Amino acid sequence: MTSTTGLVVVGAGPKAISVIAKAEAVRRCGGSVPEITVVESGRIGGNWREGSGWTDGHLSLGTSPLKDIGFPYSSRFSLSAENDVDTVLAELSWPNHLRLTGGYSDWVDRGCPAPQHHEWGQYLAWVAESVGCRPLRGKVVSADIEDGWWVVGIDEGNGNPRIIRSRSLMPTGPGSAVTRFGDVPGLFSQEDFWSSRGDLSRFVGSSVVVIGSGESAAGVISRLAEVGPARVTIVAPGAAVYSRGEGFFENRLYSEPDGWALLSVPQRREFIRRTDRGVFSGDLVSRFSGVGQLTHVSARVSGVRGSGEGPVVDVVKSDGTAESLTADSVVDASGGDPLWFTSLFGPETHRLVMGGRGDSAAVLEARMGHDLSVEGLDPKLFLPTLSMLNQGPGFGNLSCLGELSDRVLSGLGVEPGESSRVETA
């Protein structure tokens, strides 16, 4: 079976739902948007729920839920005061979700706490249902460029593969939660760790090495703290394990990235390192008290191997010296593969996308245009997660989903109407 569409989005997570919601808001306001097809093999917002391999569903969201699918509510696509896209999107906001599901006053009275991951997944599913989004159930198994189209192969599990020809493609999500260090006794991937949620007794009173310093690692450590390991060693390359900067000036660059281009590339990299990659949210850090001894080794992991006494983590420190760390268990919480989607490509498509310059994420980061697609590539390939360096730090996370959807719809050729942005002196 073959069909055509304007955009195929791989995965029904927050980025997909924000684009679908914005598209529906534009249509309700009289605008025209190409057809968008979302392909999802599991549940809407599945990576935020138990069983995904990324969480047990009970961790706290690291970003304020008020930065929901419409934030910062400054859409370029409002056609008139009577047809305001942001007014439509406000009906799909986090507070309105709570109001309509009966939890708003309780949330406010408790001090507007961060929701748990599974609650955020439920919110995304509510938005999708509200705008009539019904993902195509299946797994994307291939994506290749042919005659100016993306030809996307989908396994629907019925033995009859579906082919969709699309004018553009947008992969989302972090890819697989498996470890990149192979099969070593005592080494847990994130998927292994979270699937054993009900049986973490092996970590009680033990020594654990956690690889990584971002929110994935912080979530693992906060869960370990509940069962009481004797010692946890964090291995990450920074000088320290930093907590996330949440001041006005940091947040402003996430919400309104218009001034991002004025910063030098080194300044941008430093900002991302300090506020997004390799940082822990304050809420998760507050839960670490259950760990008997918590230390940090500033190093990069070169490999993990087995031994008679347990797994051994080989590291290289910043001064070039090597060291080996032994532990009862190791958890690889270093995050996903930013280029996971390239496994869908055939050799020629891979060459076209990467420009023949290898497999480094930096190759694509340098080519990300204003609409969050790879510059010079036809048909379009939207990669919001890799757009942080060129276009703004919020596009790789949940910090400006409304601006993200504006950029993507612009790339689809949707014409802006009267701007709803408020200019201030």
Interatomic CA distance for residues 332 and 379, integer angstroms? 36
User: Given this model, what pLDDT does residue 78 score?
Assistant: 77
Q: State whether the Cα torsion 113-116-122-125 is positive or negative.
A: positive
The answer to whether 184 touches 329, Cβ cutoff 8 Å, is: no
3-state SS, residue 89? helix
pTM of the model: 0.92
Interatomic CA distance for residues 10 and 40, integer angstroms? 7
Interatomic CA distance for residues 279 and 212, integer angstroms? 10
Q: What beta strand segments (E) does 112-186 contain?
A: 136-137, 139-146, 149-155, 162-166, 168-171
pLDDT tens, residue by residue, 59-110? 999 899 999 999 999 998 877 767 799 999 999 999 999 999 999 999 999 9
pLDDT tens, residue by residue, 383-407? 999 999 999 999 999 999 999 999 9
Contacts of 355 (CB under 8 A, 6+ apart): 363, 367, 376
DSSP 54-79: S--S-SBPSS-TTS-TTTT---TT--
| Partners of 146 in the β-ladder | 149
Domains of the chain: 2-175+337-411 (3.50.50.60), 187-241+278-332 (3.50.50.60)
Q: Would you put residue 205 in left (φ > 0), alpha (ψ -120 to 50) or beta?
A: left
Residue 260 has pLDDT above 80, yes or no: yes
Q: Tell me the pairing of strands 162-166 and 149-155.
A: antiparallel
Interatomic CA distance for residues 116 and 204, integer angstroms? 24
Burial tier of 249 (Cβ tally within 10 Å: 0-12, 13-18, 19+): exposed
3-state SS, residue 135? coil
pLDDT tens, residue by residue, 299-329? 999 999 998 888 999 999 988 999 999 999 9
Interatomic CA distance for residues 286 and 284, integer angstroms? 5
